[in-house]
Amino acid sequence: MGRGYFSKKAILVGFLIILSIGIYYSFLAKDSHEFEKKTYGIFPEYEEERLALEGFIDKYFIEDGFFRTNLLDSKQGEIASGKDILSESVGLLMLYYFERDEPEKFNTQVKILKGHFINKNGLVKWRIRREINRETVNATIDDLRIVKALIMAAEEWGRDDYQVLAEGLSIQLLRYCVIEDSLKAYDSPDGPEAPFVYYDFKAMELMKQFDNDWSRLAAKNKENILKHQVKGLPFFKDKWFSEEKGFPTVENLLIMMHLAEIGIKDAQSLIWLKIQLKQQGLYSSYSIAGKSLDNVESPAIYAIAARIARFNNDEELYYLAIKKLKNMQNLENNQYYGGFIDLKRLSTFSFDQLLSLLAY
């Protein structure tokens, strides 16, 4: 083994190092939403169910791009209903159209956002009606979701206008909806501290390009939320938790989803979810010991569980959650085919429809 042998070996090792670096930057060191798109196809396809739901939504919920809250109309009150259009719905639709690569439909929601939802302070009204134009408070969780969708779409489709809009919202959120190290639930002088579910860490991670305060806020609150988790369960004790009413499942699974979206994998909670889904299902509230306090199911719960599965690349959890979700979908041959609806009362809500779209 002479000098030539070692020279050839050194060249080979160098080549392998360069190749490894190239592979890393080509496949692993991409933004997380790009990685999600590449892994999207590993899960079973539920195209028929998704298209059926889209048809139901197009028929009953969407008019000129505006997404109503439910089918039964009423006068506008404290609780959103009927023709109310929520910033929550705008943000969820934007995420859906981004993930399905539908830039024209995404842009329709951006036009609605800019034309109808922006308050004088530059934040997003939590709800509107087309015939009513009044100032309202925002809902910080919805603003964060909208900013997240705008930044990802700006990068994916080369839309500088989306980036500008996202930066403006980011600035105003820091100004009106942050106190020291915490988010406020909404932009009011007496607005309370936001619950854990409002912390959309993916949005905050993306917004650090505008201001490093978002990075600091994300790090501090991520640590705080994880510190308040019930060991082995997807439940988090914040000020909004009530011992008597238990942990609300939708809100707590959304917290887990926000953490999973930035790569925080909770193996014990994933196992717990799969056990519940195999044994009976997921219900609307649980005790601190992980026992169900009712037998109320909702499409939103199963849809969020499916999203958690996607972010964790857990095909088993995805299948279990989607199977439950599909069983709640109206797939009978009637005028409401495809929707998540109580046919006796015609009760159906935008949140369930939109989260289910994202789940499929």
- Could you tell me the pLDDT band of residue 162, with boundaries at 50, 70 and 90? very high
**Burial of 352: CB neighbours in 10 Å, binned 0-12, 13-18, 19+:** buried
User: Minimum mean pLDDT among 35-49, 205-219, 271-285, 304-318: which range?
Assistant: 35-49
The answer to whether the beta carbons of residues 155 and 165 sit under 8 Å apart is no
| Residue 115 amino acid letter | G
Q: Which pLDDT does position 78 carry in this prediction?
A: 65
Of 34 and 291, which is predicted with more confidence?
A: 291
- Could you tell me the pLDDT band of residue 72, with boundaries at 50, 70 and 90? confident
User: Topology of 84-223 in CATH?
Assistant: Glycosyltransferase (1.50.10)
Domain ranges of the chain: 84-223, 228-328
pLDDT digits (tens, 9 = 90+) for 295-325: 999 999 999 999 999 999 999 999 999 999 9
- Mean residue pLDDT of the chain comes to 89
- Could you tell me the pLDDT band of residue 75, with boundaries at 50, 70 and 90? low
User: Minimum mean pLDDT among 10-14, 141-145, 272-276: which range?
Assistant: 10-14
For residue 242, the cross-strand partners are 246
> In the chain, what percentage of residues exceed pLDDT 90?
81
Is the per-residue pLDDT at 128 higher than 90?
Answer: yes
Q: Which pLDDT does position 21 carry in this prediction?
A: 37
What's the whole-number mean pLDDT along residues 180-206? Answer: 96
What's the whole-number mean pLDDT along residues 149-165? Answer: 98
Does pTM surpass 0.75?
Answer: yes
Of 212 and 21, which is predicted with more confidence?
A: 212
**From CA 61, how far away is CA 169, in angstroms rounded?**
27
**From CA 234, how far away is CA 236, in angstroms rounded?**
7
Count of other CB atoms within 10 angstroms of residue 272: 16
Q: Which pLDDT does position 319 carry in this prediction?
A: 97
Q: Which pLDDT does position 36 carry in this prediction?
A: 43
The answer to whether the beta carbons of residues 306 and 24 sit under 8 Å apart is no
| Residue 71 amino acid letter | L
Q: Which pLDDT does position 29 carry in this prediction?
A: 36
What's the whole-number mean pLDDT along residues 190-204? Answer: 97
